[in-house]
Structure 1
Amino acid sequence: MSGFRYGEYEDGPDPLRAPYDVRAALDELGRSIMAGERPGQALRELLRRGVRGLGGLEDLRRRASERAGRLRSSGRLSGTLEEARRLLDRAVGEERAALFPDPGDEARLREAQLDDLPADAAAAVRGLAGYEWRSDTARATFEELRGLLRREVLDAQFRGMKQALSGGSPEELRRVATMLDALNAMLAADDRGEHGRVDFERFMAEYGDLFPDQPRDLRELVDSLARRSAAARRVLNSLTPAQRAELDALGRQAAIDSGLADRLDRLGQSLRSRRPDLDWSGGEAVDGGTALGMGDATGVLEELAELAELDSALGQDYPGARLDDVDSAAVRRSLGTGAAEELKRLRELDRQLRDQGYLSGSRNKLELTPKAVRRLADTALRDVLSDRSAPRPGAHSVSDTGASGERTGTTRPWRFGDEQPLDVVRTVVNAAARPAGPAGRVRLRPEDFEVAETERRDAAAVCLLVDLSYSMVGRDLWGTAKQTAMALHSLVSTRFPQDAVQIIGFNDYARVLAPGELAELSLDWVQGTNLHQALALAGRHLDRHPEFDPVVLVVTDGEPTAHLDSEGTARFAYPPAAETTEATMAEVDRMTRRGARLTVFMLADDPRLTAFVTEVVDRNGGRMLRPDPDRLGAFVVDALLSRRGSGRRARRRP
């Protein structure tokens, strides 16, 4: 029987993974906006932390950091130097072993020549360049050393060159030389403005196998070579001064012996002039148990540099940052296919929020669309309703209710603007009374439609006055107040569309807030609690709807500290000035004459506030409530529903 193994899916993204929900992502975005963040800032934070079922940029940064940590402990950068010394010592030892049995003077002279070799490996290799080896084994070891240096020098410049020169034949070396000549010529032609696409394609057709990353054009080829060349320089810079000098000399000697020194120098100068922005002088603290060759060490530092750039792009904390700045290919190379797929899905989420009509504007000035505001208001209402542990009489869920009252059993012709439900039976009967059309079809006309008459239901003029002063921000009540206001607006708009609702925010001045303005309202560290002006604006709203039941709800954490003077200028004073209290109480009395009873929600346990609100409710006949700030929305909704269920009150003119 064949065996089965169960575990985490490893071959790319999980095909059974649940897709992310764009609307759920918008809800998370909305919670950040409710807390005072601007839409652009909230979107960046959402993409940073991710959403349910999709990791964010911060998770990718964490994985990139872990990958960089593993690379820094992957091995020692001096591996080529260590291997060169080992092969040199072995070749000299093998030669001494061959000379020892020979009693002649020539053998002693050769031993003296070996004894005089410098301790520096590069100088020793130069000293042995013309040496006539007695031992074939020693000669082969020395040629192995020279081949190692040639391969490592070229592999440090060209990724994968070690494999291309694995045979060590003169033909392979000559092909590399002609490639370098063609590459330098192509770069020179580009400097003169004479390079064309066909020249690059011809070059890649002949030498493309030497470039495993398969660049698509000359710019990508230069970028790849320059990054690797800069990384090779940083490998040398990461060694001790003595190691750096010795390995640099070994590489230089290998390039001279191969006949490539001038070609490589010319290429290096061209790359550096084209990409001076790269780090050509830095180094890295890389250490570990494994000795890394020059090519492998260059690859490590090249990837570390790429991870550093990736970390900066994933951080998105620079002006004009965009998800498109993140290199998908770099993510795939360093973090795998799954990470690249996650980045792709984050970009898709960013795009879907726009394509589905939730966000508009540029990245620097992102705005919520009316569709998004409605969604955020509905979400705020759902959150509030889910927090109502003990619904009061008159409270209703808005998920399955309509706009009209109970049906009377009669119908009438439909008129433009009617919100009553259609009477489908009467509508079809009216259409069927006419002669049938082709093939016996019944066609509906506008005059056929009839609506079911419903009982008239009382309408209310609802005013929510929300304190947005300095103290609300300081007590972290800002987001709660915004959520409550949007939830109330959504409740009235959906459950009681015949009502007239107005949201008024107040600090030093009071102002009417539309749902869109409310959603994008940012933190405002302004001193002043101008309840006087807020009540005046609410009174005007009630006067515009004299036949509606008045419902006035006030949310505040402090007594009034500002009022409007006769010239319309806000006057602030703390402790509150007598003029402020008198002006505010005058507006309370006007509310009382209108028949509007105030419901005041106190969000602070302050004796002065308690005394003020107590006087307000005594003069007005309203109510004072002390809700838990975390459940403010539930209290406000309950208060509205209970007030609407209490029947009409006589309205008197102010």
Structure 2
Amino acid sequence: MHFKYQQWDERFSKGEYQSPFDSLWDTFQELLTIASGEVSQALQWLNQLDNEYGLTDDFDDYGIGDFIKELEERGYLERNPAQNTLQMTRKTERSLRRRSLEEIFDNLKKGEFGSHQTDHTGRGLERQPETRKWHQGDDITNIDSHSTMMNMLKHSNIEKLELREGDIRVHDTDHYTSVATVLLIDLSHSMILYGEDRITPAKKVAMALSELILNKYAKDSLDIVAFGNEAWKVNIEDLPYLKAGPYHTNTKQALQLARHILHRRKYANKQIFMITDGKPSCIIENGEIYKNSFGLDRKIVNKVLDEAVKCRRDNINITTFMIARDPYLQNFVRELTEANKGRAYFASLDTLGEYLFEDYIQNRKRRFK
């Protein structure tokens, strides 16, 4: 074990002090997300920021080189022996997901949404004040000891205390639904066009949602699907590395793959969240791509709407998060939403996470029809 000693700073006692590593670590994680996990690119940007803004000027004998060394010592970076380059570790991937979750929740107003209960009572996490008779199989941790004791005393005396089954009262609990979710992320070229980075906020939302489900709603399921010319499933660990490419937008295949994934999930509640900034511009016919980047091609749009109807018949709700406000795209979103009887949000990049998280929370309260 290694210890580092440094001069006492009054900010320690006030909780205001950040070590040189912590000061650089948050910035570096943001750069890693933007760089899609390319460590060399993120470090190059960090050096440029340091040269321009003096990130390390206030640190005593601590520079970017020391930061890189500490990243390796702490297990955030490791050497790739084959390429002799630095790469992220699983620890860093988890940290990026956790940071994304914290960032989104920091932007949410307190008390805007609850803890996903339904209007039905049953086994859950939050106790209700009402009580009922105990039934076999009820969790004994929910026994109302005060009411149970009072019931027992009604037919007992000081010499003999007799507890009967009918005396036992238990608290009802809120019933928490389990939800199977597929998150669709558009990786088409338009996600990085016009000088606006739309893919980074989409990745952050996906990382945050996966971290939330993994840690708080373990009984839920989350699958990630990326789509461009085609659609493919993405592992949660791969999220930081996603990049927009020279792709068209195959919305039809994305919805189809999501529907097939949800068929295998044994959940009563199933939903699709789709993050996109453009219109559907291609489909696959007879193994070849049919594409049209100009306007709304009815041949492509109708195939997408057909898939939306199939999802509706399978009780799969589609919520579309459109991160572009082009008027002609609103017509497509309106048609898609009507075909599926789902929901749509025209979200800015700043509010994307808030919209998606609030919708996810609310959906866990209801039973889909």
TM range (shorter): 0.7 to 0.9
- Residue identity matched to 1:351: K
2:125 is paired with a residue whose SS is coil
Q: Which protein is richer in strand relative to its size?
A: 2
- Residue identity matched to 1:570: I
**1:387 alignment counterpart:** 107
- Radius of gyration: which is bigger? 1
1:374 aligns with one of 94, 97, 109? 94
**1:616 alignment counterpart:** 336
**1:82 alignment counterpart:** none
Q: Do the aligned partners of 1:459 and 1:498 also contact (CA within 8 Å) in 2?
A: yes
User: What are the equivalent positions in structure 2 for 1:409-428 lying under 5 Å apart?
Assistant: none
Aligned-residue offset at 1:383 = 0.7
> Is residue 213 of structure 2 the alignment partner of residue 496 of structure 1?
no
CA deviations on 1:585-626 (whole Å, 9 max, x unpaired) are 121111101111211112112122111110111111111211
Q: Do the aligned partners of 1:564 and 1:570 also contact (CA within 8 Å) in 2?
A: yes
Structure 1 residues 358 and 490, CA gap change in structure 2 (3 angstroms):
same
Q: Do the aligned partners of 2:322 and 2:346 also contact (CA within 8 Å) in 1?
A: yes
Q: Do the aligned partners of 1:36 and 1:521 also contact (CA within 8 Å) in 2?
A: no
> Is residue 4 of structure 2 the alignment partner of residue 39 of structure 1?
no
Aligned-residue offset at 1:35 = 1.8
CA deviations on 1:517-556 (whole Å, 9 max, x unpaired) are 110223x341311111111121122111132411211111
- Residue identity matched to 1:376: L
Number of paired residues? Answer: 309
2:350 is paired with a residue whose SS is helix
Q: Do the aligned partners of 1:588 and 1:620 also contact (CA within 8 Å) in 2?
A: yes
CA deviations on 1:40-62 (whole Å, 9 max, x unpaired) are 211333355359xx944xx69xx
User: What are the equivalent positions in structure 2 for 1:78-227 lying under 5 Å apart?
Assistant: none
- Residue identity matched to 2:180: A
User: What are the equivalent positions in structure 2 for 1:319-334 lying under 5 Å apart?
Assistant: none
Structure 1 residues 566 and 548, CA gap change in structure 2 (3 angstroms):
farther
Q: Do the aligned partners of 1:461 and 1:549 also contact (CA within 8 Å) in 2?
A: yes
**1:4 alignment counterpart:** none
1:546 is paired with a residue whose SS is coil
1:487 is paired with a residue whose SS is helix
Question: Which aligned runs of 4 or more in structure 1 are off by greater than 6 angstroms?
Answer: 407-412, 420-423
2:292 aligns with one of 563, 569, 573? 573
Given the two structures, how large is their TM-score scaled by the length of structure 2? 0.73
Structure 1 residues 648 and 39, CA gap change in structure 2 (3 angstroms):
same
> Is residue 297 of structure 2 the alignment partner of residue 563 of structure 1?
no
Aligned-residue offset at 1:637 = 0.5
Q: Distance in 1 between matches of 2:23 and 2:235?
A: 24
Q: Do the aligned partners of 2:191 and 2:199 also contact (CA within 8 Å) in 1?
A: yes
Q: Distance in 2 between matches of 1:557 and 1:637?
A: 18
1:33 is paired with a residue whose SS is helix
Q: Distance in 2 between matches of 1:610 and 1:483?
A: 24
Aligned-residue offset at 1:14 = 6.0
Aligned-residue offset at 1:410 = 10
**2:181 alignment counterpart:** 462
CA deviations on 1:130-174 (whole Å, 9 max, x unpaired) are xxxxxxxxxxxxxxxxxxxxxxxxxxxxxxxxxxxxxxxxxxxxx
**2:326 alignment counterpart:** 606
**1:234 alignment counterpart:** none
**1:632 alignment counterpart:** 352
Q: Distance in 2 between matches of 1:23 and 1:532?
A: 44
User: What are the equivalent positions in structure 2 for 1:487-526 lying under 5 Å apart?
Assistant: 487-522=208-243, 524-526=244-246
Given the two structures, how large is their TM-score scaled by the length of structure 1? 0.43
Long gaps (5+) in structure 2: 1-5, 12-16, 117-123, 143-172
Higher RCO structure (Cα 8 Å, ≥6 apart): 2
2:78 aligns with one of 357, 360, 373? 360
Q: Which protein is richer in helix relative to its size?
A: 1
Long gaps (5+) in structure 1: 1-12, 61-337, 397-403, 413-419, 424-453
Aligned-residue offset at 1:421 = 12
- Residue identity matched to 2:125: G
Q: Distance in 2 between matches of 1:384 and 1:411?
A: 42
- Residue identity matched to 1:20: S
Q: Distance in 2 between matches of 1:410 and 1:44?
A: 64
**1:429 alignment counterpart:** none
Percent identity reads 26
Structure 1 residues 534 and 22, CA gap change in structure 2 (3 angstroms):
farther
